[in-house]
Amino acid sequence: MTEIVKKDLLYKGKAKEMYTTNDPDIMWVHYMDQVTAFNGKKKVQMAGKGQTNCEISALIFKDLANHGIKNHFIKQIDSNNQLVKRVKIIPLETVVRNFASGSFEKKFAVKHLMKFDKPVQEFFYKSDELDDPFINDFQAEALKVATEDQMNQMRAIALKVNDRLKEIFSEMNIDLVDFKVEFGIDSDNQLILADEISPDSCRLIDRDTQKSLDKDVFRKGLGALVPVYKEILGRLEKVEDVK
């Protein structure tokens, strides 16, 4: 591969900056030391946050690729930067839940961490202005956000991700409560997993202490976030078959 050089800032999100490179099919992702919640309404700078998420996400995406789940990850450049395949992001958040928490718990007034018999799947439309509303297949098709076939593909891939993530976190003595993933369409018109998988986008509960080891620590003001993310990275690095 010829040397990849970072070029122009294409998009700045709430946690990452995306740059073009000298290769039109490759993007340069910079993980920022910024954490937000409630669709950007709560925002804080935190040294070390970008690095831990960048490293956690790289390890997880590499592992998922090794388990047959195609994704955008190419390689880690340094602590805060990685190269990914350029995709057109589908503006949907695909959520999988194993236990009740967050918006599900609130919406249906059920017991915190009630275990589901099978994974619950939901989609949300990515829009800060609209507060990421829930969206169903008919609504997504009507808005031309995704086709029926794409919705089915996203659901199926998200379930495979759930199966593998549950295995990984189980090795880390952690229950995977829920998570969010995003998908994109690559230059071959294939739908692949994209964005990041990190404690920003998962809910993780330590099996011994029942404490949150994810962004809920920040959302609920439970303490310092970076040490918690470092704990996740440390445990992940010890999982035998995650390399």
Binding site for ligand ASP (CB under 6 A): 14, 36-40, 215, 219
Nearest to 50 by CA among 238, 232, 226, 234: 226
Residue whose C-beta lies closest to ligand ASP: 36
Residue whose C-beta lies closest to ligand TMP: 102
Query: Please, what is the minimum distance in Å from the beta carbon of residue 102 to ligand ASP?
Result: 8
Q: Which does 104 bind (CB under 5 to 8 A by kind): ligand TMP, ligand ASP, none?
A: ligand TMP
Q: Count CB atoms within 10 A of the CB of residue 181.
A: 24
- List, in order, residues 6 or more apart from 117 with CB less than 8 Å away: none
d(Cα 183, Cα 92) in Å, to the nearest integer? 8
d(Cα 176, Cα 204) in Å, to the nearest integer? 5
Which CB atom, from 26 or from 146, has the smaller least distance to ligand TMP?
A: 146
Which CB atom, from 23 or from 178, has the smaller least distance to ligand TMP?
A: 178
Residue type, 154: M
Q: Which does 186 bind (CB under 5 to 8 A by kind): ligand TMP, ligand ASP, none?
A: none
| Residue 140 DSSP symbol | H
Element (H, E) at 44: strand 42-45
Query: Please, what is the minimum distance in Å from the beta carbon of residue 214 to ligand TMP?
Result: 7
Query: Please, what is the minimum distance in Å from the beta carbon of residue 189 to ligand TMP?
Result: 26
Q: Which residues bind ligand TMP (CB under 6 A)?
A: 93, 95, 101-104, 132, 178-180, 201-203
Which CB atom, from 28 or from 179, has the smaller least distance to ligand TMP?
A: 179
Which CB atom, from 74 or from 101, has the smaller least distance to ligand ASP?
A: 101
Cβ-defined contacts of 221-228 (< 8 Å, 24+)? 225/35, 225/46, 225/49, 226/46, 226/47, 226/48, 226/49, 226/52, 228/199
Q: Which does 102 bind (CB under 5 to 8 A by kind): ligand TMP, ligand ASP, none?
A: ligand TMP
Query: Tokens in use for 157?
Result: 């891939």
Which CB atom, from 72 or from 215, has the smaller least distance to ligand ASP?
A: 215
CA 119 vs CA 161, 173, 176, 178: distances in Å: 12, 20, 11, 9
Query: Please, what is the minimum distance in Å from the beta carbon of residue 113 to ligand TMP?
Result: 12
Q: Which does 37 bind (CB under 5 to 8 A by kind): ligand ASP, ligand TMP, none?
A: ligand ASP
